[in-house]
Structures are given as structure tokens and as C-alpha cells.
Structure 1
Amino acid sequence: MIFIGVALAISIGLALLISADAGTLVGLTQAQTGQLLPLLIVLIIFAGGLFTRTRRAGELLNSLLLWGAIFGVAAASYAYRDELTGFAGRIAGEFQPSVAMVDADKGIATFRRARGGHFEIAATVNGHTTPMIFDTGASAVVLTIADAEAAGIDTGRLDYRIAVSTANGTGRAARVRLDRIEVGGIARERITAFVTEPGSLETSLLGMTFLETLSRYSVTQNALELVD
């Protein structure tokens, strides 16, 4: 009980200190320190509970070292949370290159290059998840007929009169307008797109009618960056 009282007194003292000084405390801002206080209170109370029991010195020391290490890892993880988030995102990108690493504050979506050498994109077209390949050589967003139907487009009423070149050769496509397309959190509405005839295209393409609406896009050796 004594240590519980001490823990509460220390916590109240820290809170008063933070309130009196809106600057930083041991390198943390007022808000950051306030967020760490609950964890600190729990750890101090737990340590106090250890002292209220009769234990051998070695057992007590091991417990203190264990909880000290846990607190150290938790504090370090919080302090470097931005770096750890980016690191975790890069690892996830290696296993799922079509899923974007998103920086919502800056409006940036980053994709890792897939093993086949392409940038695979998990886009959302009219609410339907649509796998695409990034292609600056495509003058527009191009959908396979299967992806168009999944996105709610009535392909039976389309007029396939536009000649297009695809990996399978020359084909024909119909012009449509997408209600909404979203890539890595970057959304656009009323984007012009083409729908190809059956058998003309294996995978839909993320082309220039979407890319030209961005403020910037860039390609490095292993990464594609789209900026809203």
C-alpha cells in the first residue's frame, strides 16, 4: 500500500509539472508525456506490489529487470513509432507489393515493385477491388471486361469502336466514365476509362487519365510514389 501511495504521488507530481510547463519533459512534449503516464503508473504500482511480498533478493531483482526491460521497449517503440511504422510498411510491401504504404498526412502512396518487374496496384473502382498494373504507356485507365462488370458497368451496351494496342496485340475498346477510382487512399471521380473486348487484356491498367490528375508521380528502382 505504501508503494501504491508513492506511485500516485509521483504521478500527480509529474502531471503538475507538465501542466506548469507546456514545454518538454525528458525530450517528450506535454502531450506525449501525458500519454505515457498511464503506463508509468501501472508499472510503478506493479513494482510496489513486488516489494509488499516476501521474496528472495534474486527473484525480486529478476522481476525488476524484466519489467524494466518491458518498459524500456515500450518507451523506445513509442519514441520511434514513425520509423517503426515505415519499416513495418516496407516489410509488408515486399510480401504484398500491390498494397500501398500510405502517408495520409502528405497524401503519398508508395508501392513496391513486384517480382515480375511491374508495379501491381490494388485499386478500387466503383467500390470493387480491382488489380491493376501501373502503365504510363496507357493513355487512359483500361479495364478488362471482367473487372468492368464487377465494377457495375453494363458491358453489353458498350460500343467497342476504339482501336487499342495491348500485350496480346491490337484490340478494340469502349469508352466509359468511372464514378470513382481510388488508389492508395487517393480518390478521383468521373475519370475516363476504356473497357476492352473479351480476351484483349489479362490485367487492367492504371493509365494516364488517372495519373495526370496527380500533383506528382515518380519511379525509382524498386518503388513507385503517387502524390495527391
Structure 2
Amino acid sequence: MIFIGIALLISVGLALLISADAGSVVGLTQSQTAQLLPLVVLLIVFAGGLFTRRRPARELLTNLGLWVAIFVVAGLSYAYRDEIVGVAARLAGEMQPGVAMVDAHQGTATFRRGIGGHFEVNATINGHTTPMIFDTGASAVVLTIADAEAAGIDTSSLRFTIAVSTANGTGRAARVALDQLEVGGITRQGIVAFVAEADALDTSLLGMTFLETLSRYSVTQNSLELTD
């Protein structure tokens, strides 16, 4: 019966908390609901005790304290759910810099600076996940030949006639149009990109042909925010 009491407590508490967003619960205001919740807790606890074998007062008080603690934790988790989600997302971003912290309501994707000092971005090109480096100095999205092939681009038919300057020196690239490029939930079609010839580039670059389609992008000390 103790498990039934706990289940009832959690179910009723969550139902009341969720319903409170609508402004009232069975005709009660949020303030009245908040005053009623402790009484509901006590009612369930003592009702559960009536249907179990007689227990020492100390054990009943211990169980009561445990159930109240569970309810308080559940209530705080609900009340601060936005902050908790934000902290969890930031922790995930620190552990995996290329993974975006997406805010669908604001239309933003935020990335944390990597250990090497760059902003690493996991983009999806034609359905293939491609690690890239955010680079405002690149006039276009630039792909390594390996990333281009993984994204389904036929590199054997490309003509590498465009001179480009990369971290490895001067090289040549071919112009292509990407069917789809998605970064942190922000999707674009037909983005112009360059495919660098073999050994000309170590990592693909997220350059201006994508960035200029955004309404805003901003860089702070340790974070990059892209806004659709």
C-alpha cells in the first residue's frame, strides 16, 4: 500500500501543477491550489497509513518526511524546468562543442567554443552529418573532398578551377550548390559552396554563403549564436 500512496501522491501533485498553467484547477485559483497541495499530501499519507499494518510513530514520520521531500523535489523541478533544461543543454554543449543548444521558440542555435579555440559545428549536408568550423573569413561554405563525397556529391565530375586561400596555403576548389544544409535546426536549400581539392583543407568551413542567410549571428567569448 505504501507504493499506492506514493503513486497517488505523485499523480495528484503533477496533475495539479500541470493544470495550474491554465489559471485554475477545478475552479480554484493558482494561489488556492498552492494552499491546497499540502493538505492533499497529508490526506494521501494518512489515508495510506489507515490501510497498512500498524507502524511505529517514528516510522510513520520518516515515511511522511520522505513523501514530502519527493513532492517538494517534483514541485521544484516543475517550477524551474526551463532553467534545468537550460543547464542540461549547456552541459551537453560543453561536453560536445559541435552539438547545438537549440531554442525552437527563439529560432536560435548556440554552440560552445571548442578546446582548440574554434567554434565547431555539426552540420547536416544532404542528410549527412558533417563537422565544420565557423569561419566568417570564408566567403562561402567550403567542404573537404571527403565530406563532399560523403554528402553524395560526385567529385569526379567537378572542375577545380577556382583559386582559394586556406590554412594549408593556396589551393583550388570547385563550385557546387548544396541540396540542403541544416545547422542547429536552421535549414537552407541551394546554398552555394566550394569543394576544395584533395589535401587543400583539413576541416570543412561554415562560411558566409550560409551565414548571410541568417537574420543574425553573434559571437561572445565562449559562445556562438545563430538566429534563423
- With over 3 angstroms needed to count, the CA separation of the structure-2 counterparts of 1:42 and 1:182, relative to structure 1, is farther
Could you tell me which of 21, 25, 28 is aligned with 2:30?
25
Any conservation in 1 of the 2:180–2:189 contact (CA below 8 Å)? Answer: yes
Equivalent-residue separation in structure 2 for 1:173 and 1:27 (angstroms):
68
- With over 3 angstroms needed to count, the CA separation of the structure-2 counterparts of 1:56 and 1:148, relative to structure 1, is same
Q: Secondary structure at the match of 1:74?
A: helix
Q: Give runs of aligned pairs for residues 111-122 of structure 1, distance below 5 A.
A: 111-122=111-122
- Unpaired stretches in structure 2, ≥5 consecutive residues: none
- With over 3 angstroms needed to count, the CA separation of the structure-2 counterparts of 1:146 and 1:51, relative to structure 1, is same
- Unpaired stretches in structure 1, ≥5 consecutive residues: none
The aligned residue for residue 216 of structure 2 is 216
Any conservation in 2 of the 1:43–1:67 contact (CA below 8 Å)? Answer: no
C-alpha deviations, 1:178-204, integer Å up to 9, x for none?
A: 000000000000000000001000100
The aligned residue for residue 191 of structure 2 is 191
The aligned residue for residue 131 of structure 2 is 131
The aligned residue for residue 65 of structure 1 is 65
Residues 1:83 and 2:88 aligned together: no
**Structure 1 residue 91, shift from structure 2 partner:** 1.0
**Structure 1 residue 48, shift from structure 2 partner:** 2.4
Equivalent-residue separation in structure 1 for 2:42 and 2:147 (angstroms):
54
Query: Which amino acid counterpart does residue 31 of structure 2 have in structure 1?
Result: V
Query: Which amino acid counterpart does residue 52 of structure 1 have in structure 2?
Result: F
| Percent identity of paired positions between Structure 1 and Structure 2 | 68
**Structure 1 residue 90, shift from structure 2 partner:** 1.0
**Structure 1 residue 92, shift from structure 2 partner:** 1.1
C-alpha deviations, 1:32-87, integer Å up to 9, x for none?
A: x9xxx9xx989964652234221000011111101110110011000110011111
Q: Secondary structure at the match of 1:133?
A: strand
C-alpha deviations, 1:117-165, integer Å up to 9, x for none?
A: 0000000000000000000000000000000000000000001000000
The aligned residue for residue 100 of structure 1 is 100
Query: Which amino acid counterpart does residue 172 of structure 2 have in structure 1?
Result: R
Q: How many residues align structurally? A: 209
Equivalent-residue separation in structure 2 for 1:147 and 1:80 (angstroms):
41
Equivalent-residue separation in structure 1 for 2:32 and 2:135 (angstroms):
46
Q: Secondary structure at the match of 1:92?
A: helix
Equivalent-residue separation in structure 2 for 1:43 and 1:156 (angstroms):
74
Any conservation in 1 of the 2:41–2:68 contact (CA below 8 Å)? Answer: no
TM-score scaled by length of structure 1:
0.84
TM-score scaled by length of structure 2:
0.84
Q: Give runs of aligned pairs for residues 130-149 of structure 1, distance below 5 A.
A: 130-149=130-149
Q: Secondary structure at the match of 2:198?
A: coil
The aligned residue for residue 48 of structure 2 is 49
Query: Which amino acid counterpart does residue 76 of structure 2 have in structure 1?
Result: A
Query: Which amino acid counterpart does residue 107 of structure 1 have in structure 2?
Result: G
- With over 3 angstroms needed to count, the CA separation of the structure-2 counterparts of 1:41 and 1:129, relative to structure 1, is farther
Query: Which amino acid counterpart does residue 68 of structure 2 have in structure 1?
Result: G
